[in-house]
Structure 1
């Protein structure tokens, strides 16, 4: 069997802030922007990995979701415990410095982890946990 990751989703609460974080700070390319206002679906790709898509979506946009469920999702997002993503870079210190200089919310500075990677962590504008591993 030949299987690969094609698309992954993260919720956003502010499409413009999310674009500033993922496109402008991290260097992802916007390939699709569907919808309007806060109800926008943003598809991004890493320049060197165009076949894997990151789609930023409005939280709990499904019409079957109740307002209470939507509120719960938003609260979990704000705590950074709803969704997460792990990215990779060959320049962890430079990436960390760039994000920190842009006032991104630092969760942990670059450090060697017991599971064998050196990484750091931030929260994106919606509160999603973004870990960044160093690849050597």
Structure 2
């Protein structure tokens, strides 16, 4: 069996802020930017990994959820507890400095973790946790 990761989904509540963070601050390329019925889906990813993407999506577009569930999602996004993603880089300190200079919300400075990795953490404009691990 040959299975690969194609896309991961992260919610956003402000497409322009999400685009600025993932394109301008993280340096990802924009692969698709689609609007439909007042909502916007933005697909981004690292230029050197064309087969892997992050789809930034409006949480209100998820089919089959109730209004109560939408409110819960909105509350969890505001607290930063709804969604997360782990990224990796060979230059953790440089990446941290660039993100901090770009006014990203710092959650954790570069730290040696007891489970054997060094990483840092930020929140994107929607509150999603973005952890960045150092590749060795």
Contact preservation (8 Å) 1:13, 1:38: no
Residue of structure 1 in register with 2:111 after alignment: 111
Could you tell me the TM-score, scaled by structure 2's length? Answer: 0.94
Task: Give the superposed CA RMSD.
Answer: 1.4
Could you tell me the TM-score, scaled by structure 1's length? Answer: 0.94
Contact preservation (8 Å) 1:15, 1:38: no
Residue of structure 2 in register with 1:26 after alignment: 26
Residue of structure 1 in register with 2:58 after alignment: 58
How far is 1:5 from its partner?
Answer: 0.5
Q: Which residues in structure 2 correspond to 1:85-96 (within 5 Å)?
A: 85-96=85-96
Q: Which residues in structure 2 correspond to 1:63-78 (within 5 Å)?
A: 63-78=63-78
Q: 1:37 to 1:127 in 2, by over 3 A?
A: farther
Aligned residue-pair number: 136
Deviates more, 1:34-43 or 1:100-109: 34-43
Q: Which residues in structure 2 correspond to 1:35-46 (within 5 Å)?
A: 35=35, 39-46=39-46
Structure 1: give runs of 5+ residues left out of the alignment: none
